[in-house]
Amino acid sequence: MKKLNKGVSALASKPEMGVVLPLIILLAVIGCVNSNFFAPANLIDILRSTSYTFIIAAPLTLLMISGGMDLSIAAATALGCVVCAWGIADFHIGIIPSVLLALAAGAVVGLIKAFLVVKLDLPAFIITLGLTKIINSFILVTTDGIAVSNLNNNAFKQLGQGKLGSVYWTIIIAAVIGICMHILLRSTRFGREVAACGGNRETAKLAGINVARVRFTVEILVSVFAALCGVCMCSRFYSGQPAAGSGTELTIMASVIIGGTSMMGGTGSILGSFLGCLLLAVINNGLVLMRVSTNWQNMIFGIILVISLFIDKYRRSKTGGGL
C-alpha cells in the first residue's frame, strides 16, 4: 500500500500531470454533450490541429526552460509560409529548395533575435514584439496583403494535405519532432545545459557551460521550426497566407505553460507541452461542436491565458520558485 501511495505521489508530482485531469474531464463532458466528438474523423482533426501548434511548442519548451520567451513565433510562421510560396510560385526553384529557403528565413529571424536578446542583453519581450511588427509589415508590403497563389505543384500538397493511411503527414512530422526534442532535452548534455541556464545562469557559467551558445541555439531553433510550421500551412492552404499563424503566439505559450513549463525557466517537459496543445485543441473543437459563438470562444481562451499564469505561479510556489 505504501508503495502504491508513493507511486501515486510521484506521478502526481510530475509537472505535466496538472493538465491530464482537466483534459480527461473535458473529453468526458464534450463527449456526453455531442457524441460526434469521438468520431475517428473528428479525433484525427483534433490531432491535426494539435500538430501545427506542437511543431512550434516543442522547441519553444526548450527556449522557455532556458529562461527565454518569444512573441515572434507567429510572424516567423507567416514568413515561412510566404517565402515557401514565393520559392514555388515565383522563383520556380522546386519544393525542397523552397522549403530550405523558408527554413533559412526562419533561421535569419532567430539569429537576429538571438543577437539582440543574448549578445546585446535587450529585453526579449520588447525585441520579439518589435520583430513581429517588422516581419508582419515586410510581408504585407511585399504581398500587398494578398495570398501568394498559383503554386501549380500538386506534389507539394502532400505535406499539409496528404495522409499515411488515415493519419495526416503533419501529425507524423509533429510526433517525430516531439520525440527528437524529448530525447534532446532528457538524454543529452545540451538538454541538461538548457535546464541549467534556466535554473541559474551565473551558476551555469561557473560550471563551464557556454550560456550564450545554448541560448543562441534555442532562439534559432524556435524560429526555424516556426518557419517549418509555416511551410506546412502553405501546403495545407496551397498558398502563402500573409496572416498564417496570426494570433497564435500567446496560445502556444499558454499551452507550454499549462503543460508544466515554468515561465521563470528551469523546468518543463515536451510531453507536458504536447498535452497543453492537445487540451487547447480539444477546447476549440468542443466549442465548435457545441456551436458556441466565436466571441465567447475568444473570451474562454483569454480566461485560459490568465489561468495559465496562476498555474505557473502555484507550481513555482510548490517547487521553491520553479528552479
Rounded Cα–Cα distance for residues 175 and 273 (Å): 12
Q: Are 249 and 64 in contact (CB under 8 A)?
A: no
Q: Is the pLDDT of residue 5 over 70?
A: no
Residue 164 has which C-alpha cell? 499515411
Residue 18 covered by a domain: no
Average pLDDT, integer, range 75-84: 98
Q: Residue-wise over 265-288: b if at least 16 C-beta within 10 A, else e?
A: bbbbbbbbbbbbbbbbbbbbbbbe
Enclosing domain of residue 134: 37-318
Report yes or no on 245 lying in a domain. yes
Of 5-9, 121-125, 164-168, 304-308, least confident by mean pLDDT is 5-9
User: Alpha helix locations (H) across 144-168?
Assistant: 154-161
Which tens digit of pLDDT belongs to each residue from 210-242? 999 999 999 999 999 999 999 999 999 999 999
Helical packing angle, 169-187 and 154-161, nearest 10°? 60
CATH code of the domain in which 150 resides: 1.10.3470
Asked if residue 11 has pLDDT above 80, the reply is no
Residue 323 pLDDT more than 70?
A: no
| Site of grid cell 507550454 | 256
Task: Establish if 190 belongs to a structural domain.
Answer: yes
Please compute the mean of the pLDDT values over residues 178-196 and round it to a whole number. Answer: 97
Predicted local confidence at residue 297, as pLDDT: 75
Number of domains in the chain: 1
